[in-house]
Structure 1
């Protein structure tokens, strides 16, 4: 993905690595699984992706939440927090999708028309972008904003990945500057 501001796009990384490594990735994978179920009706390639994702979900849940594993308060709290974050992300992407579709409808444009304007010829790719399976590039979002008159705040997800958050917090900690807060 060109600009990984998003959550659901992390699914490619999960599939590449062959594992889900934390609760937030699990929650994102579960949401992506639901989206892929719908998209697989349009395009069979999504069925294979969904099958792989479901296997990773199953493996993670078996390892982390089986009767053999120790379930602690901390583990439950992290799971609850991950569910809240993933749901907020899901709501953002649903609202963005709805807004883009409303504007496309207003201008008598189809998703495919938008794809052509953005330079994406593949019909399923633009569907993946709009449905939050893949990330729009910053350039795509700027074009959509100008073309359809949508505020960038409504197009750009306000989320920072956990790994990026950790890097920022580590850098701030090393600076030992009490004025900085993240």
Structure 2
């Protein structure tokens, strides 16, 4: 499951191509609305993102006759997944902040340790605007003693689970089984 929605990548691409990215963009827009009060760069980013969102809405949702049950179901499913991603990112941010506070470190201190010089960049990482690198998350895991499953999502969508299970069945290896997820995305 992709949980690292990179707004700048979407803006560079200039188009939303599916319902899940649309829902992710809506969540990002809400985050940017709050962050734009602190930094003008976020305001510019939000303006560009809103233009892309509007194009998608006009193309996909403006004609009432084209909206059927399947489209509504796809939209609901995408909204659920995007919201689970949002909750995961928010929880991760809160856990990191709590550990930083316990160690009397600031977010800026963590950015320095990770090699990120910009306060804005660190804010983008913490708020899920930009994705952490795997290297960043490993350092955070080791430095702050945060479980890796809190930092990196370890759950699979239902579709991915089905694909993996089908592939394992085709291999004919009964000892190989996919561990069940507590968090299953439908």
Q: TM-score, normalised by structure 1?
A: 0.84
Please tell me the root mean square deviation across aligned C-alpha atoms, in Å. 2.8
Q: What secondary structure is seen at the aligned counterpart in 1 of 2:135?
A: helix
Alignment of 1:157-176 (within 5 A): 157-158=153-154, 169=163, 176=170
Instruction: Name structure 2 gaps, 5 residues minimum.
Output: 179-186
1:28 aligned partner: 24
Deviation at 1:43, TM superposition (A): 1.2
Instruction: Indicate which of 49, 73, 82 corresponds to 1:86.
Output: 82
Question: Does the CA contact (< 8 Å) of 1:23 and 1:78 recur in 2?
Answer: yes
Residues 68-121 of structure 1: per-residue CA shift (max 9 Å, x gap): 651111111000000000000000000000000001111110000000000101
Alignment of 1:82-161 (within 5 A): 82-158=78-154
Residues 46-76 of structure 1: per-residue CA shift (max 9 Å, x gap): 1111001001111111111113651111111
1:6 aligned partner: 3
Instruction: Determine if the alignment matches structure 1 residue 74 to structure 2 residue 70.
Output: yes
Provide the rounded CA distance (Å) in 2 between the counterparts of 1:17 and 1:169.
28
Aligned pair in 2 of structure 1 residues 12, 158: CA closer, same or farther (>3 Å)? farther
Question: Does the CA contact (< 8 Å) of 1:5 and 1:159 recur in 2?
Answer: no
Aligned pair in 2 of structure 1 residues 159, 127: CA closer, same or farther (>3 Å)? farther
Q: TM-score, normalised by structure 2?
A: 0.83
Question: Greater relative contact order: 1 or 2 (C-alpha under 8 angstroms, separation 6 or more)?
Answer: 1
Q: What secondary structure is seen at the aligned counterpart in 2 of 1:141?
A: helix
Greater than 3 Å deviation, 4+ residue runs: 158-161, 175-182
**Alignment size in residue pairs:** 174
Q: What secondary structure is seen at the aligned counterpart in 2 of 1:136?
A: coil
Instruction: Determine if the alignment matches structure 1 residue 58 to structure 2 residue 57.
Output: no
